[in-house]
Amino acid sequence: MTMTQEVAQFWQGVEQFNQGEFYACHDTLEALWMEAAEPLRTFYQGILQLAVACHHLGNHNWRGAVILLGEGISRLRHYQPSYAGIDVSQLVAQSIQLLAKLQQSGPDRVVELAQCLKAYNTSGNRPVSEGVSPTARLDPSQDFASQGAIPSCCEPPIVLKVLVDETSEA
């Protein structure tokens, strides 16, 4: 695979992640991860694990979501503040927030939390969406919950997105 193809495939995985297509993101990034050398290998694996965690959450697998969020966070912490054009600090912070919410609510509320994550991913409030450049920015000043895009069960809303690092020259 050429470097251009690898970069295109990586941004395809980012797009899939941001659209809530977590299983597709897993497939896309796994192909890169299997061929990559360090330090990209561990970076891809960290994002992969977050995607699989969200997939588990969508399937109401609380234990799988908690375990893989923890593993993904652990791997990505080493790439802060940014890496490969991704604002890793923001991604880690959002992942920690989701992990804490899952741990606090426990397995009994996994269905509710899965609905919150799905509501966000289907609300159209994405930093990268179909037909938009991967360098598109999410406006952090927007309050999606007050706009009715996020159910009230998600206060504060669960936001887990791969965001493009504005300071990077990706």
CATH superfamily of 3-127+146-154: TTHA0068-like (1.10.3450.10)
In the chain, where the domains are located: 3-127+146-154
pTM, two decimals, is 0.78
% of the chain beyond a pLDDT of 70 = 71
CB atoms within 10 A of CB 8: 13
pLDDT at position 99 is: 93
pLDDT in tens, 70-116: 999 999 999 999 998 899 999 999 899 899 999 998 999 899 888 88
Please, which residues bridge with residue 82 across strands?
Answer: 87
* Whether the Cβ atoms of residue 73 and residue 94 lie closer than 8 Å to each other: no
* 157: pLDDT strictly greater than 80: no
Long-range CB contact pairs, 143-147, < 8 A, 24+? 144/120
pLDDT at position 130 is: 35
